[in-house]
Amino acid sequence: MQIAALIITFNRKEVVKECILSVLNSSLKPDKVLVVDNGSTDGTPQFLKKEFPEVTLLSLDKNYGPAGGAERGQRYLYEEGYDFIWMLDDDAIIEKDALSNLIKMNSKLSKEIGNNFFLLSVIYGDRKLQKPLYNIYLYNQTWGIPVRISDENYKKQYFPFIVGPMLGLFLPKYIFEKVGFFRGDFFGWYDDTEYVLRVHRNGFQGYAVPNSKIYHPTKFRKKVQLLGRKFTFYSGRPKRFYYGTRNNIITQREMLPWFNFYFLFLPLFIFRRFASILIFYEDKDEFLKCFFKGIISSFKLFIGGGDV
């Protein structure tokens, strides 16, 4: 069994250094660590070649975004023949036994249910690895929205999910053979949701493994409470909001029946996003501009008019 860890980075050499060290210091190290550099201008490629000669570097000519870097890295490792690809963010810190616990669970489930599944490490927002980010969901196939998974599931050995992040995905080669790779044209945000939904649509079940732990900083996550409910939203990156809007609409149009998409998902999605900007976001004008640009861009792509 040959395992490769895939890290995508852009202009964060000190950050990616900490990530790589955590992978190399794991109790079970991957057979290869591939870092895809998205055209960094801060000397990241030179830095990595000097600091980590044992790490493979794939340098791209420009910034293709997390999705573009993921697609190119997956294709590279697939062609190299690796059995599993473990997807990692450059600002993630890997718990010492994270990979070994994935391997144990993969062996257990392979014996019990065969080879029609994939795994996901669980992301924690604190260095002590005690508070999951709760960014793993089920999926409402009528409305096209994620459904929160009960906290009790995080106390189990594993639990099923349908929507999850790129960070921590443990993908076997046979999934790439049938489903393909990340959509590089998504650039970033919602690229992981689209891919995981596509994988599920092709008959593979995802299972999250809570004792395979990864720390991820919560710099751009904000939590607020309104009318007795807690809301988590991303802030500070309007451009990512554009991609999130565009990519979400494109994805749901592909996943949902046309009636559900146009008469259920789309009105609810636009209302909720618009309301969240007005209520929660500080730079409202910039976020609204990126929001409407994302809507227009998605429909231009539907009618073959290209992106905006």
What mean pLDDT do residues 61-70 have? 96
User: Which of residues 215, 242, 267 is at a domain's end?
Assistant: 215
Q: Do 170 and 133 share a structural domain?
A: yes
**307 domain residue, yes or no:** no
Provide the pairing of β-strand 159-161 with 137-140: unpaired
Q: What is the pLDDT of residue 156?
A: 96
Q: What is the pLDDT of residue 98?
A: 98
Beta bridge partners of 123: 214
Q: Do 93 and 23 share a structural domain?
A: yes
CB 206 within 8 A of CB 120: yes
Give me the chain's average pLDDT, please.
92
- When divided into structural domains, the chain yields a total of 2
CB 38 within 8 A of CB 68: yes
- Angle at 276 (CA atoms; ends 196, 135), nearest 5 degrees: 30
**308 domain residue, yes or no:** no
Q: Do 77 and 51 share a structural domain?
A: yes
Q: Do 245 and 155 share a structural domain?
A: no
**78 domain residue, yes or no:** yes
What mean pLDDT do residues 163-191 have? 96
Q: Do 202 and 225 share a structural domain?
A: no
User: Which of residues 168, 185, 215 is at a domain's end?
Assistant: 215
pLDDT single digits (tens) 248-285: 999 999 999 999 999 999 999 999 999 988 888 888 99
What mean pLDDT do residues 6-29 have? 96
**149 domain residue, yes or no:** yes
Range of the domain at 268: 221-302
pLDDT class of 133 with cuts at 50, 70, 90: confident
CB 73 within 8 A of CB 12: no
pLDDT class of 19 with cuts at 50, 70, 90: very high
User: Which of residues 169, 197, 215 is at a domain's end?
Assistant: 215
On whether the pTM is more than 0.85, the answer is: yes
Instruction: Round to the nearest angstrom and report the end-to-end CA distance of the chain.
Output: 44
Q: Domain holding 9: CATH number?
A: 3.90.550.60
pLDDT single digits (tens) 196-254: 999 999 999 999 999 999 999 876 555 555 555 555 555 567 888 899 999 999 999 99
